[in-house]
Structure 1
Amino acid sequence: MNRKRDVSRQIRWGHVFGYVAMVLVVLTIALPLAWVLLTSFKVRGDIYVQPAIWWPRVFEASNYHDATTSVPFWRFFSNSVIVTGVLAVVKFVLGILSAYGLVFLRFPFKRIVFLVIIAALMVPNQITVIVNYSLVAQLGYRNTLLGIIVPLAGVAFGTFLMRNHFLSIPTEIIEAARMDGAGHLRLLWRIVLPVSGPTMVAFGIITVVNEWNEYLWPFLMADDSSVATLPVGLTQLQNNDGLTNWGPVMAATVLAMIPILVVFLILQRHMIKGLTSGAVKG
């Protein structure tokens, strides 16, 4: 009886520590976002006051007007939409097709190809910047959206994620479809993709978020505002000659976060299912 009581007490304390850890993680993530949001409504005097204050004395929406008029914000926004949209589609298609090939096709050196993909995941993008920059410059694609998109079209993570999910599909379903005469295209379209919805959503969300927030490569490729994406263009709001007015900077940051935040909130359940669906085979 005492042993059961001790076990129950340990479980109860484990739940308490789990909730405390969860609250700490949420606060760590939410507090900076709350600071950005509140600062976007502050006047300059409230931003630089000492000690710092969280709540604005007066809510001022002029920061959003300044953020969208002092720089070509909507041009940056449209460039980000184009780059993110094209890369999301390209990576989505390539990731699914390459993962399908690694799982359902037989060809020489398949394991070596997969090891190369794994190795690509271990190489930081910064290492390939010089080589990619030299190649793009020689092709004449600098300061173009094409020069930003093509070098970022690698899809190692998506291939890895989708491959793990495809391996978790019961082999009986695949064999039954093949016995019915299904070719590769029909097998992919009618059998594999319909049972891969959550994983595809997770793949899509991760890809969109990563490309929307990409900074280094667009920064190297963009010489002017015509092709600059949001992360690059918003640096123009900072005043290098004097004190930066952080109000418009924070307002622009909020506007840049809203599209991705809305997408994530709508699809988060599917994303969690997708990331865990390949963990257990069967």
Structure 2
Amino acid sequence: MTVEPVIVGGQEIPAAAIAAEAQHHPAPDAGAAWQAAARALAVRQLLLAEAERLGIASDECRDAEGRALTGEDARIDALLDREVRTPSADEAACRRYYERHRERFASPTLVEAAHILIAADPDDTFAMGLATGDARTLIRQLQAEPERFADLARSRSACPSREQGGNLGQVGPGMMVKPFETALFGLAEHTLCPQPVKTRFGVHVIRSGRRVDGRQLPFEAVREAIANYLEEASYRRAAAQYIAVLAGQAGVSGVALGSADGAMVQ
């Protein structure tokens, strides 16, 4: 892999140091890991250089878990604490965020679900057609004899849930593939879906059980969490802007440090 030298303030970061750092940056490929490592080391070098310029000593500092920081980490922490200041999130700001994102502060709707899976490859039209026919037959049987669901699941389903009579337990948003979820949450309590439902796993016969609708959490219950989130986001933006200023003053080449919205402090 050919890479451009990474130079910060006229000083090159050794390729060996970037390679060693890359192991701490999981990424889809080696190139992405290298870039992430190069960014982290470039930011670190910028901050250490600025701490040196300002004469910031490495007084003992501890991280959020109470562990003592190394000398360099302590200097960086002290620098950012001194130079990056952000306002506290007040009541009005927290309430505005709550009103704009009310859906984030609600308990999810939960539905007890059971199904019978007729396995088939969705790319095999013939197999899917047979599976759909089998599912329709099962639906007709269950409409006439709903009490047979568990027995039919045990004998016909290709899902491990057959051991529990097809029972999947409580299902919340995002737990199942989209077509299954859409069909399930569209049913009233204790209702058999009248149509087969196709997913990447095959064709499903779905039955809903008890439903517990989501409830909106009151602002007072989430105010502290919102304040923490807003203050953390504000700090990250401010830190990114500060690093961008340092990069412009020192000069950085061979790596893109990103915009002021990027999370560059590792």
TM-score of the two chains, using structure 1 as the length reference = 0.25
Q: Which has the higher strand share?
A: 2
Q: Tell which structure's C-alpha radius of gyration is larger.
A: 2
Q: Which has the higher helix share?
A: 1
Greater RCO (Cα-Cα under 8 Å, separation 6 or more): 1
